[in-house]
Structure 1
Amino acid sequence: MSEKTVAVIGAGKMGELVLAGLLRSGHPAERVLATARRPERAAELADRYGVAVVSNAEAAARADILAIGVKPQDAGKVLDEIGATRKLVVSLCAGLPTTFFAARLPEGTPVIRVMTNTPALVGHAISAISPGAHATGEHVAIAEELFKPLGATVRVPEYQQDAVTAVSGSGPAYFYLMVEAMIEAGVLLGLPRQVAHELVVQTAVGSAVMLRDSGEHPAKLREAVTSPAGTTGAALHALEKHGIRAAFLDALTAARDRAQQIAAS
């Protein structure tokens, strides 16, 4: 992988995560290219990471792997600028299927679709990888190596990517909202805001580590905290009364449906 040149085309929020992860893993900076629409953004990337920031056409000509991280509505224009490349294309464009790229690139061009998430900033992302029609096992392995510095990876069939978007792509926002709500509740119960923040954040971190490392079903871990006729049971009863499970189902379904709308537009 270190001998391949990777171009991050459209180094916005998600593209920059890939760029930073590559360099953090020890990939040579001289084998990393970036593109940016605005000159000031290009200068920022070059100064921060020490990589060459070039045009989309030059990136396509020089790179072995093209990681495309532009907004879905800009992807068609970018592919026009890339031209008739047959390089491995890795799409970070939420909602866009590999067929979108296949229809605009030469026949046989390998395309891989990836949905990652923002915990990539701290090396704890989960990236779901789906090969297109012309992507081989070797191409998938390259994509896994590309995203390994960001966190964990998982392979899924492409038809599941809209569900992945709803669950993990948007998922961090759900947890942040829950943490925000718990902190506000703690303040209303009389805790200083900083104390409430520390209590809730560390509880979230510890619970996540237990979920990851124990291998236990979340229901079993929840039951271990819930004593008969205790405080936790009272709280969980209130949450169920307010339809927390139905709310999450409705929320994730709405996110999945929006991903499908993006693909169809």
Structure 2
Amino acid sequence: MMQSIVFIGGGNMTTSLISGLRHAGWSGDAITVVDHNADKRERLSEQYGVQTVAQAESSHLRAADAVVLAVKPQVMAETARALAPVFEDARPLILSIAAGIPLSALRRWLGADFAYVRCMPNTPSLLGVGATGLYADEVATTEQRQLADDIMATAGINAWVDDESLIDAVIATSGSGPAYFFAFMEAMIAGARDLGLDETAARELVLQTALGAARMATESGDDPATLRAKVTSKGGTTAAALNHFEAGDLDKLVAGAMHAASDRASELARDLSDG
């Protein structure tokens, strides 16, 4: 029997996950979206054939195997507290994809006797090429972990961590990571312009190079260090550029940036939890 899923919130990430689930063969009848916005409900219903409702009712939640909390972190406390009395005796798996909300806060707002999985997807998930970090609490069964994995795998690849505190490391790595690469692309485009290329040529060359490098890293079977060595001739142009990066201590700069992101994630989690 197809397991049923209720999404609380019908935004971009919900749309991405539903698209992936439907392509994976999930029945539209097994998916319900709860959202106050009538336009979102109509779009999701027409495009993906899922069930949509304006308010969560006990009948929807009682029948669900999994409930995905997909609202903005700033309204999670209000949403969870409103849902708590609606669950009645239902105890579905609860997946949270809200950044910065620790499970301790969800237990306080929603209830302590649920199985929880905290998920941290990133923005490329909207294209089905995302990276998601997941943490399951001790209540979640093997079957519930598999259900969470099946749901989130429709958006890309999954990586499980065995300590919730490591979600901050996931945020600093894959959650914020796309922006690091975008910033590097910006810098390369600016460098290409400074060398005399026009904007169009600079942009096209940089973006295609980034795409090609990513595909080589994911499809060649070699790790990035090996790939770097293969394209770096001693005394050549690539070596000259890499030596410049090394002189500027690129490794230390990147590590420092990621630590800053992780520390900020911890601060925001405390603020959101207290709020």
* TM-score calculated relative to the size of structure 1: 0.90
Task: Say whether residues 1:182 and 2:183 are aligned partners.
Answer: no
Matches within 5 A, 1:1-265: 3-58=2-57, 59-84=60-85, 85=87, 86-157=91-162, 158-265=164-271
- Aligned mates of 1:29, 1:230 — CA distance in 2: 56
Task: State the 1:96 CA deviation.
Answer: 1.5
Distance in structure 2 (CA, Å) of the matches to 1:140 and 1:213:
28
Give how far 1:156 is off.
Answer: 0.8
* 1:21–1:150 CA contact under 8 A, matched in 2: yes
Report the 3-state secondary structure (helix = DSSP H, G, I; strand = E; otherwise coil) of the residue aligned with 2:131: strand
CA deviation map 1:16-68 (0-9, x unaligned): 22222212222111221112343333334334433232134225345321111
Against the structure 1 CA distance between its residues 57 and 196, is the aligned structure 2 distance closer, same or farther, given a 3 Å change threshold?
same
The CA distance in 2 between the partners of 1:213 and 1:135, in whole Å, is 33
Does the Cα contact within 8 Å between 2:117 and 2:135 map onto a contact in 1? yes
Give the SS at the match of 1:34.
strand
The 1-side partners of 2:23 and 2:100 are apart by: 28
CA distance in 1, matches of 2:111, 2:72: 22
Aligned length: 264
Q: Which runs of 5+ in 1 are unaligned?
A: none
CA RMSD of the aligned region, Å?
2.0
- Name structure 2 gaps, 5 residues minimum: none
The whole-number CA distance in structure 2 between the counterparts of 1:77 and 1:151 is 30
Distance 1:67 1:129 in 2: 13
**Over residues 141-180 of structure 1, what are the superposed CA-to-partner deviations in whole Å (9 max), with x where a residue is unaligned?**
0111111221111211222111001100111111122122
* TM-score w.r.t. length of structure 2: 0.87
Give the SS at the match of 2:256: helix
Tell me: CA distance 1:13–1:255, structure 2 relative to 1, closer, same or farther (3 Å).
Answer: farther
